[in-house]
Structure 1
Amino acid sequence: MTFENVSDEELIASAGNGDRLAASELISRHADKIIGVCWRMLGERAAAEDVAQEAFLRLWEFAPKWNPDGGARIDTWLYRVAVNRCVDRLRKTKREAPQEAAPEMADDAPSATQVLIGEDRRKSVLAALETLPERQRLAVVLCHYQELSNIEAADVMKISVDALESLLARGRRALKTALAPMRQELMEGLAG
């Protein structure tokens, strides 16, 4: 069975009636985005996958009661559940562990210079993202990595669009400041 022309609302109704193929299609449609937002919030792929799985489990539990006229879209609802779970994990981690980052294992495999620069850039950006306050980080992740509109991101965060734009502006400024040394290094590396 193909689900190309089937809406998320129709899929959730079918999943609520026990249709496993419909449930699988919903996962296929939304898993990458949900895992992506969780990964950028938590900084760990395994934790992101766990949280995404929890969000989808909540959706299946809620599926029989889903009200398509309730105003929430399925993707927005999933983002909200996933973000809430990420925030819970981050708060729990802050209470349980000291704020030291675990050292990463070096990858000894040879690779091209551009790949190394790209990986260094990715790690630097993720590290800078992790230094942002929780709400600024979420705003940046939703708008710049998940490519949600300001209206959609504000809806996920349950704030006004003006408040979201303020968080984005402060987050961008903080990232620009945090990444300035890396930018200078990169420019020097390209010139040399």
Structure 2
Amino acid sequence: MNTLISRYKDKIFTSIYLLVKDRYLAEDIFQDVFIRIIDTLRSGRYTDEGKFLPWAMRIAHNLCVDHFRKIKRNPTIKTSDDRDIFEVLNFSEAGVDSRIMNEQTSDKVRRMIDLLPEDQREVIILRHYADLSFKEIADLTNCSINTALGRMRYGLLNLRKMMTEKQIAL
């Protein structure tokens, strides 16, 4: 179990954090996710036959949705100066200038993603930060694969449009 937690911790936590935008809340939900995973594994009820990450991401997503239902608001991702989201990404450490440029680029991308409609933002986060397939994203968000693909396409088009309008070069 420790191996599973170590292997998928970063992807699951980052996805939760990007959805709830609160580090402490994300840590709480992350712990709840792994408590549910451990309970299910110990009781022998896990049956996804080697599809651990999509199953774990579905649990995380459902717990995030439950949280927002509980407080009666929609999940939003707001721009903040907190760069902890990208702690888990592996940037090359070629030099200080390279690291600063990567952080600035990540910050620009994050701000633009924050401006997307919720459904487009969610698909982009799940695809690029959690490395889920479109089938897994469709299952997780209760939509068809074509809808997930469409949301990704429109999200990327909107990002390109923002970059053009604001003359942002990455």
Q: What TM-score, normalized by structure 1, do the two folds share?
A: 0.64
Q: Kindly state the Cα deviation for residue 142 of structure 1 after the two structures are TM-superposed.
A: 1.8
Match for residue 131 of structure 1?
A: 115
The 2-side partners of 1:129 and 1:100 are apart by 9
2:56 aligned with 1:78, yes or no?
yes
Match for residue 151 of structure 1?
A: 135
For 2:143, what is the secondary structure of its paired residue? coil
Deviation by residue 1:86-119 (Cα, 9 ceiling, x = unmatched): 34456677849xx9866669xxxxx843332221
Match for residue 161 of structure 2?
A: 177
Deviation by residue 1:67-97 (Cα, 9 ceiling, x = unmatched): 42x679332121012122334456677849x
Aligned counterpart in structure 2 of residue 61 of structure 1, from 39, 45, 63: 39
8 Å CA contact retained: 2:16, 2:61: yes
8 Å CA contact retained: 1:76, 1:155: no
Question: Larger RCO: Structure 1 or Structure 2 (Cα < 8 Å, ≥ 6 residues apart)?
Answer: 2
Match for residue 29 of structure 1?
A: 7
Mind listing any 5+ residue stretches in structure 1 that lack a counterpart? 1-22, 106-110, 188-192
Q: Kindly state the Cα deviation for residue 36 of structure 1 after the two structures are TM-superposed.
A: 2.4
Larger radius of gyration: 1
Question: Percent same amino acid at aligned positions?
Answer: 28
Runs of 4+ in structure 1 deviating by more than 6 angstroms, as ranges, are 91-94
Mind listing any 5+ residue stretches in structure 2 that lack a counterpart? 84-94
2:35 aligned with 1:51, yes or no?
no
Match for residue 106 of structure 2?
A: 122
Q: What TM-score, normalized by structure 2, do the two folds share?
A: 0.71
Could you say what the CA RMSD is over the residues aligned between the two structures, in angstroms?
3.4
8 Å CA contact retained: 1:42, 1:86: yes
